[in-house]
Amino acid sequence: MKFIFIIISFMIAVFAQDIQMQSRELSTKEMKKQNQEIVKLAANEMSKSVPKEIDKYTKLIAIEAQDTTLVYIYEINTAPKSDEIVKKEDRSRMQEAVIFGTCKNSQRFLEADISIRYIYKSRSTKAELFQFNINQEHCLKL
């Protein structure tokens, strides 16, 4: 009798943990679905203002939603430099500026586990020059 009681108690504990795991998993799935919807709505709303000149070299040409990632696509006027020189000489400087700016201005997205991707293309060749994927972990390193 005591043995049956121990087995039943053990089974109840196992099932209770399983139910807790399922509810946490469901919450994670629901959170991801909610973030996907937020990214989609944000991209749709912000896309209404593109294309947009950022400065004399940079133009925002598109904003897209990809799962839980908000994607900004820019074109850069790299003349007179070639794409290869820009990739080689400007990548680290650009990446540092993008991470700092994103952590400063998009903290709410990042804290909600929404990533932000920046794609920079050459205005003349349309080739991709840089791609930076930013998440909350980048901001913790600053």
Judge whether 106 lies within some domain.
Answer: yes
Residue 62 lies in a domain: yes
Nearest alpha-carbon partner for 120 in 67, 65, 54, 69: 54
Mean pLDDT of 115-123: 97
> Whole-structure pTM over 0.85, yes or no?
no
d(CA 137, CA 34): 21
Domain count along the chain? 1
- Does residue 4 belong to any structural domain of this protein? no
CA distance 127 to 52: 19
Residue 10 lies in a domain: no
CATH code at 78?
3.30.300.250
Q: Establish if 76 belongs to a structural domain.
A: yes
Residue 9 lies in a domain: no
| Per-residue DSSP letter, 55 | S
**pLDDT per residue as tens digits for the range 101-111:** 999 999 888 98
**Whether pLDDT at 16 is above 70:** no
- C-alpha 5/C-alpha 42 separation (Å) is 55
